[in-house]
């Protein structure tokens, strides 16, 4: 049975994950404990949630550089609402997520209506949101509320010593929601169509402008949700939080098998990509003799490999189309 070439990147991602996890179990007996799995899901929850939103953006042929600043902004805004105005954290989280989604929609409108490169607009958004963080507060602010403590302490026991935290469960629910939106809705099909060939999508009647606006609204929503999870996870907010997370999110999407040019990829692959990055960090921590910067080196090497694989696949598709014509 011949496998469709569209599945090659995600199969490669899954193979890398299995090899890395298998190596960890072979080298370190404790690596097979569900405690490690639970920690992986919890520690990488906010990154994977962000990357799910980034997946839709990249599938549409765009990019969003504002997500890291959005995470910091949401945390600082929530801290101000909870500590300064006495709001319940859930109310503050809802308000913050509405603001985050609205800002994503604003960037989407500019990108779609004025046909401006997403790189430029989201770069401006990145600087704007980071600056607003420092206007609100210059220092780290603890979010001291019983609900935050309850959120951090919530656990679902796994076999062995492991457990799933509230952050991990929210992340898994986000991944499932992303899969449903991408593969079982008209909006998801439109995103793939625009990323594959925007001109053809327009000729086929796909509402390109409204879809792009919704893509960046969705990215704003997911990065705002990530900011909420990060704030609850750390029980604090800091204007310099999540610096560089936008690059980590893009790396997770690419390692997960999504083409940077758009039109091909899977949300589930992004989940695997985020877990791979977490496994690399965990392996280095277990080793104890390697500098933490080896994480960046290994992720960079993986990115090189997946970019080359993507190029080979796109060339293969181009050759097939040329032969068909």
What are the boundaries of each domain within the chain? 5-318
Q: What are phi and psi of 231, to 5 degrees?
A: -65, -40
| Spatial contact of 190 and 28, defined as CB atoms under 8 Å apart | no
Average pLDDT per 10 consecutive residues for the chain, totaling 325 residues: 75 91 90 93 97 98 97 96 94 97 98 95 98 92 93 91 94 98 97 94 95 98 97 94 95 93 93 95 83 82 83 64 52
Tell me the fold of 5-318. ABC transporter involved in vitamin B12 uptake, BtuC (1.10.3470)
State if pTM tops 0.85: yes
Q: Which long-range contacts (CB under 8 A, 24 or more apart) does 173-179 make?
A: 174/48, 174/49, 174/52, 174/222, 174/225, 175/48, 175/52, 175/267, 175/268, 175/270, 175/271, 178/52, 178/55, 178/56, 178/222, 178/267, 178/270, 179/266, 179/267, 179/268
Estimate the share of the chain in helix, then strand, then coil, as percent rounded to the nearest 5.
75, 5, 20
Alpha-carbon distance 65 to 124, whole Å?
Answer: 9
What confidence score (pLDDT) does residue 314 get? Answer: 66
What confidence score (pLDDT) does residue 74 get? Answer: 97
Measured CA distances, 311 to 280, 306, 315 (Å): 25, 9, 6
């Amino acid at each position: 049975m011949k496998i469709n070439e569209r599945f090659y990147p995600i199969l490669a991602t899954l193979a890398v994950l299995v090899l890395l996890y298998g190596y960890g179990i072979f080298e370190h007996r404790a690596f097979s404990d569900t405690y490690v799995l639970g920690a992986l899901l919890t520690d990488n929850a906010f990154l994977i949630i962000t990357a799910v939103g980034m997946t839709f953006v990249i599938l549409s042929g765009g990019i969003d550089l504002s997500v890291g600043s959005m995470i910091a902004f949401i945390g600082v805004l929530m801290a101000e609402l909870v500590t300064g105005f006495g709001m319940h954290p859930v109310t503050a989280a809802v308000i913050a997520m509405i603001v985050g989604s609205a800002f994503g929609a604003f960037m989407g409108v500019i990108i779609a209506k004025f046909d401006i490169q997403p790189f430029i607009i989201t770069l401006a958004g990145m600087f704007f949101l980071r600056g607003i963080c420092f206007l609100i507060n210059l220092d780290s602010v603890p979010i001291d509320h019983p609900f935050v403590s309850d959120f951090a302490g919530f656990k679902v026991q796994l076999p062995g010593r492991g457990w799933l935290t509230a952050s991990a469960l929210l992340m898994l629910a986000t991944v499932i929601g992303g899969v449903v939106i991408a593969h079982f809705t008209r909006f998801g099909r439109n995103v793939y169509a625009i990323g594959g060939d925007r001109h053809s999508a327009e000729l086929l009647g796909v509402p390109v402008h409204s879809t792009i606006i919704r893509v960046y609204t969705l990215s704003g929503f997911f990065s705002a949700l990530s900011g909420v999870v990060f704030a609850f996870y750390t029980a604090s907010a800091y204007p310099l939080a999540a610096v560089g997370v936008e690059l980590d999110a893009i790396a997770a999407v690419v390692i997960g098998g999504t083409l940077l040019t758009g039109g091909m990829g899977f949300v589930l692959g992004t989940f695997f990509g985020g877990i791979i990055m977490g496994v690399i960090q965990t392996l280095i921590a277990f080793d104890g003799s390697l500098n933490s910067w080896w994480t960046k080196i290994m992720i960079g090497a993986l990115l090189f490999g997946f970019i080359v694989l993507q190029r080979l696949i796109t060339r293969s598709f181009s050759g097939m189309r040329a032969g068909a014509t």
